[in-house]
């Protein structure tokens, strides 16, 4: 899975349209809630940025922090992790693990001098298509304000 996601950087996902920066955002979606919410946003024809690259995972807790770091080092401008609301996880405690890892990962980003604002965690249920579209739009706007990822291709050893 890691190789397939990181090869996506070679598919021309960096977009510039009329000199407007369109960020590459990797989005991990929980299979049980968030993916259905994103699907609902699409089937409801809600508008959200096309620069979002969705990746379905069985649970938000399955997203390895190293995968997120590698995504940034390989050129993604932002990473959005979405999961079930706390207490609604299909695997009972998965989103609690995600929340703990996320706090740790933000601290790691800060200690490495990376912009932790490029990373976002959000809870979206299957019935919240509008919320998914809003989160995706707001996050894309925030990344657009931050500009291009300056940490890509850097070595942090």
Nearest CA to 58 out of 27, 88, 28 is that of: 28
Residue 45 lies in a domain: yes
When the pLDDT of each residue in the chain is averaged and rounded to a whole number, the result is 88
**Domain presence at residue 153:** no
Residue 34, in any domain of the structure = yes
Domain with residue 43: its CATH number is 3.40.50
Count: domains in the chain: 1
pLDDT the model gives residue 112: 86
Burial class (CB in 10 A: 0-12, 13-18, 19+), 57: buried
Residues 64-79, mean pLDDT to the nearest whole number: 93
Token pair recorded at residue 65: 């922090």
Predicted local distance difference test score (pLDDT) of residue 16 = 53
| Residue listed under structure tokens 């379905």 | 56
**Residue 63 belongs to what domain range?**
25-146
110 neighbors 69 (Cβ within 8 angstroms)? no
Position 9 pLDDT exceeds 90: no
Name the band, by pLDDT with cuts 50, 70 and 90, for residue 152: confident
**Quick one: which of 87, 82, 36, 88 has its CA closest to 62?**
82
Q: Which residue has the higher pLDDT, 29 or 73?
A: 29
Please give the pLDDT value at position 42: 93
Mean pLDDT, residues 43-55: 94
Regarding pTM above 0.95, the answer is no
């Amino acid at each position: 899975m890691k190789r397939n996601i990181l090869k996506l950087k070679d598919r021309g996902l960096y977009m510039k349209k009329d000199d407007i920066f369109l960020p590459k955002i990797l989005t991990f979606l929980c299979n049980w809630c968030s993916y259905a919410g994103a699907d609902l946003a699409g089937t409801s024809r809600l508008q959200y940025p096309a620069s979002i690259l969705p990746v379905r995972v069985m649970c938000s807790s399955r997203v390895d922090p190293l995968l997120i770091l590698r995504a940034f080092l390989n050129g993604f401008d932002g990473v959005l992790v979405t999961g079930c609301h706390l207490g609604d996880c299909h695997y009972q405690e998965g989103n609690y693990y995600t929340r703990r890892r996320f706090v740790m990962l933000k601290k790691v980003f800060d200690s490495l001098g990376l912009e932790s604002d490029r990373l976002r965690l959000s809870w979206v249920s299957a019935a919240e298509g509008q919320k998914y579209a809003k989160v995706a739009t707001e996050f894309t706007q925030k990344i657009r304000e931050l500009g291009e990822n300056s940490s890509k291709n850097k070595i942090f050893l």
